[in-house]
C-alpha cells in the first residue's frame, strides 16, 4: 500500500455519457480512498444537497421538451450552487475528499455542445455561479454512445429525460467532452470506459496515486 502524504481534501469529478460507468467507478474510488484513511464524501449532480435534489426531479423527469436549453442550464446551475455551498465547500474546508458523479463539465458537454447552447453562453453562467473554483482532478469516462445507452436500458427509474434525447445529441455531447479535456489538460484524464470494471478502476487509482500520493 502506498504511503500517503498528509494533504488537504481534494475535489475529484467523474464525467462522461450516460451508462459510461461513473457511479460504479465513483463508489470503488471512494472505497479506495477510505482504505487509505481519507474521509470521503461521495456525491452527485444534479443533486447532492437540499434544494438541489428537488431540482434534480424537475430536470430529469418528464418530456425532453419540458425545458428549453437556457431554462435547463439555469436549473443545473441553481442546483450546483446549493451543492457547492451546502455540501462540497464545507467538506473540502474540513479536509475531506469529495468525489462527485458529474459536475460542471456535464453542463458544458450536454447543454453547451449537445443542446448547442454554445461554449461562451454556458461559460458566462458558470463564471457567475462557480467562479474560479474547479476540480483538482476530472476523469472523463469515454464510451461509444450507443454502447453506453445500452447499459442504461435495464434501469427502472424515470430519470431518463436526457437518455431519451436522440443519438446526434449524445454524439455532440461526447465530442464536447473531448474538447473540454483538450482545453483542461492539467485536470482532465480521458479514460477508456469500454473495458472491464476492474481494469478501468486500476487505471483510475493509478492516476490518483501519481497525482496526490507519494
Ligand atoms: P453511469 O453512472 O455512468 O450512468 P453506471 O455506473 O450506473 O453508469 O453503469 C451503468 C450500468 O452499466 C450498470 O448496470 C453497471 O453495472 C454497468 N456497468 C458499469 N461499468 C461497466 C463496465 N465497465 N462494463 C460493463 N458494464 C458496466
Ligand atoms: P444521472 O443520474 O447522472 O445519469 P447517468 O447515471 O445516466 O449518467 O443523470 C443525470 C442526467 O442529466 C444525465 O443524462 C446527464 C444530464 N446532465 C446534464 O444534461 N447537464 C448537467 O449539468 C448534469 C449535471 C447532468
- pLDDT, position 214: 74
CA 60, 42, 102 angle in degrees (round to 5)? Answer: 40
- pLDDT, position 165: 86
- pLDDT, position 159: 86
pLDDT of residue 117 exceeding 70, the answer is yes
Cβ-contact 40, 33 below 8 angstroms: yes
- pLDDT, position 121: 98
C-alpha 112/C-alpha 175 separation (Å) is 11
Q: Residue whose CA is closest, atom 5 of ligand 2?
A: 18
- 100 forms beta bridges with 13, 43
Q: Is the CB of 152 under 6 A from ligand 2?
A: yes
pLDDT digits (tens, 9 = 90+) for 54-86: 999 999 999 989 999 999 999 999 999 999 999
Least confident of 6-20, 36-50, 83-97, 193-207: 6-20
Helix (H, G, I), strand (E, B) or coil at 42: strand
Q: Is the CB of 136 under 6 A from ligand 2?
A: no
Q: Which of 99, 113, 86, 83 is nearest to 40 (CA)?
A: 99
Cβ-contact 45, 80 below 8 angstroms: yes
Best of 30, 44, 151 to mutate for ligand 1, by most ligand atoms within 8 A of CB? 151
- pLDDT, position 97: 98
The confidence band for 32, taking pLDDT boundaries of 50, 70 and 90, is very high
C-alpha 95/C-alpha 60 separation (Å) is 32
Q: Counting atoms of ligand 1 from 1, which one is nearest the CA of 155?
A: 14
Cβ-contact 161, 58 below 8 angstroms: no
pLDDT digits (tens, 9 = 90+) for 139-182: 999 999 999 999 998 787 888 888 888 999 999 999 999 999 99
Q: How far, in Å, is the centroid of ligand 1 from the Cα of 93?
A: 31
C-alpha cell at 61: 423527469
Q: Which residues of 150-180 are buried (b: 16+ CB within 10 A; e: fewer)?
A: ebeeeeeeeebbbbebeeebbbbbbebbeeb
pTM of the entire structure? Answer: 0.95
C-alpha 152/C-alpha 63 separation (Å) is 18
pLDDT of residue 1 exceeding 70, the answer is no
Q: Counting atoms of ligand 2 from 1, which one is nearest the CA of 103?
A: 24
Q: How far, in Å, is the centroid of ligand 1 from the Cα of 149?
A: 10
Give me the mean pLDDT over the 104-125 stretch. Answer: 98
C-alpha 3/C-alpha 6 separation (Å) is 10
**Contacts by residues 116-120 (CB-CB < 8 Å, ≥ 24 positions apart):** 116/69, 116/172, 117/69, 117/70, 117/73
> Which CATH entry fits the domain spanning 10-213: 3.40.470.10, 1.10.10.520, 3.40.50.300, 1.10.3720.10?
3.40.50.300
Amino acid at each position: 500500500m502506498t504511503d500517503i502524504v498528509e494533504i488537504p481534501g481534494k475535489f475529484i469529478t467523474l464525467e462522461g455519457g450516460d451508462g459510461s460507468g461513473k457511479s460504479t467507478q465513483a463508489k470503488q474510488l471512494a472505497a479506495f480512498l477510505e482504505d487509505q484513511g481519507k474521509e470521503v464524501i461521495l456525491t452527485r449532480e444534479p443533486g447532492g444537497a437540499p434544494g438541489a435534489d428537488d431540482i434534480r426531479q424537475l430536470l430529469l423527469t418528464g418530456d425532453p421538451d419540458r425545458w428549453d436549453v437556457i431554462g435547463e442550464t439555469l436549473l443545473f446551475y441553481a442546483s450546483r450552487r446549493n451543492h457547492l455551498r451546502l455540501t462540497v465547500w464545507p467538506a473540502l474546508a474540513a479536509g475531506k475528499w469529495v468525489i462527485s458523479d458529474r459536475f460542471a463539465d456535464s453542463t458544458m458537454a450536454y447543454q453547451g455542445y449537445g443542446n448547442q447552447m454554445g461554449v461562451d453562453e454556458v461559460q458566462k453562467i458558470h463564471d457567475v455561479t462557480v467562479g474560479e473554483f474547479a476540480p483538482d482532478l476530472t476523469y472523463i469516462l469515454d464510451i461509444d454512445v450507443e454502447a453506453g445507452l445500452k447499459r442504461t436500458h435495464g434501469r427502472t427509474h424515470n430519470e431518463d429525460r436526457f437518455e431519451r434525447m436522440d443519438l446526434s445529441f449524445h454524439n455532440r455531447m461526447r465530442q464536447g467532452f473531448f474538447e473540454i479535456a483538450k482545453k483542461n489538460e492539467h485536470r482532465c484524464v480521458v479514460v477508456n470506459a469500454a473495458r472491464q470494471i476492474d481494469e478501468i478502476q486500476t487505471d483510475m487509482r493509478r492516476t490518483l496515486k501519481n497525482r496526490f500520493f507519494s
